[in-house]
Structure 1
Amino acid sequence: MTLTATQGNADHGYHVPTSKRDAEVIDWQPATQAEDRRRVLRWTCRCRNEVYYLVSAGGRGYIERTRDGEATVQTARMRHAQIAELWERILLGQAR
């Protein structure tokens, strides 16, 4: 997966399936202040309680997760290839 073009429409994106029982557990960290040149590349559908955003900033990528009634959390910053693989695992229900 290449991290280039924005996909999805306003307020609509991928629907994330229920995580599989043996899904990888992601190390979520409290969200930091957004970078000046942050770019949201992809996102999941806002019709769900939980929304994921694939973000590129400062030459690195990360995933941000929001849930109704909870503070926003993020993954660690990673190389784009690594974060693209994690994004795919989330979309397949293989990571949560």
Structure 2
Amino acid sequence: MSQLENTMIHAARQELEVVKDFYVKRAQGVVTQENRDDFLLHLYSMLALLKFGNQDDTGMSAEGAQALREIEQEHAAAFAASMATTALQPK
């Protein structure tokens, strides 16, 4: 993989960690408006990076694109788990 691909993958992983931290805070019921704003910033940054894993002719190697798709799958699993946890909480 190229240095650019490694940088993109590293950045996507960093964004994913922030997004997953938000899901934990939301499940704990300790989310502030600042947390929500920060979450959206990192979520959209992550999604912009992950888009390159699903597009043709981006210049990404197969290995780099696969790494981005794996991050996308990890996010999908974390999101689904957070929704299941949140759905079980009393209102």
Q: Same fold (TM over 0.5)?
A: no
Greater strand fraction, Structure 1 or Structure 2: 1
Report which of the two structures shows the higher radius of gyration computed on alpha carbons: 2
Q: Provide TM-score, normalisation by structure 1.
A: 0.25
Q: Which has the higher helix share?
A: 2
